[in-house]
Every structure is written in structure tokens, then in C-alpha cells.
């Protein structure tokens, strides 16, 4: 059974509103990815799509190694969403490798 659409959820449970009100540490991993994805697909809200991604790839490390084409193979992930995910993960990698001096 599908979860509620995001707009049907109480405002304080919606990922973007939750981030604004309580900060990023208050969000689950699927909620953080849902913010990047923005929308779900027919019959599946964006949090469920994000959860499906995490279930398929098992970790952020594995997900971060996916190509645009691998991500596009997942129903509900088109070229724009795939590009945004790849860009976000690569920004994270660059940040982690940045010299401290």
C-alpha cells in the first residue's frame, strides 16, 4: 500500500519543511534523498522512491558509485534526477577530499 502523497502529510513530517524547522540531522536518509529527487512517481511518493534506491544499493557509498544510466534504469528516476544525484554525491566526495590547510 502506498504512503500518503507528500502534500497529504502533516507539514511537520514533510522532508523540506522538516529540514527548515529542525535541521538536516532530524531527517532520515530517505528523506534527505527525497529532497534531491523532489517528486515521486505514480503510486509511490518521493520518500518511497528514495527508500527504494537505498534498498537497492544498500549504502550511500554504493549509491554514490552509480552512473547516470544506472540511476535512470530505476522507475521514477529520469535524466534530470539522475544527474542531480550524481552531482550531489560528487560534491560530497570532493568536500571529503578537500585539504584542510
Span 49-65, average pLDDT? 92
Over 70: is that where the pLDDT of 4 sits?
Answer: yes
Over 70: is that where the pLDDT of 77 sits?
Answer: yes
Alpha helices (runs of H) in 1-101, residue ranges in sequence order: 15-22, 29-37, 46-57, 60-64, 68-72, 79-97
Closest CA to 54 of 88, 81, 29: 29
Domain map (residue ranges) of the chain: 6-97
Architecture of domain 6-97: Orthogonal Bundle (1.10)
What pTM did the predictor assign? 0.86
Span 81-99, average pLDDT? 92
Confidence of residue 98 (pLDDT cuts 50, 70, 90): confident
Amino acid at each position: 500500500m502506498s504512503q500518503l502523497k507528500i502534500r497529504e502529510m502533516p507539514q511537520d513530517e514533510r522532508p523540506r519543511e522538516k529540514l527548515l524547522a529542525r535541521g538536516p540531522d532530524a531527517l532520515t536518509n530517505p528523506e534527505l534523498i527525497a529532497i534531491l529527487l523532489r517528486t515521486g512517481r505514480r503510486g509511490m511518493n518521493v520518500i518511497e522512491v528514495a527508500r527504494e534506491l537505498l534498498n537497492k544499493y544498500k549504502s550511500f557509498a554504493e549509491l554514490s558509485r552509480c552512473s547516470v544510466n544506472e540511476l535512470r534504469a530505476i522507475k521514477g528516476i529520469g535524466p534530470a534526477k539522475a544527474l542531480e544525484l550524481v552531482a550531489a554525491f560528487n560534491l560530497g566526495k570532493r568536500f571529503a577530499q578537500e585539504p584542510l590547510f
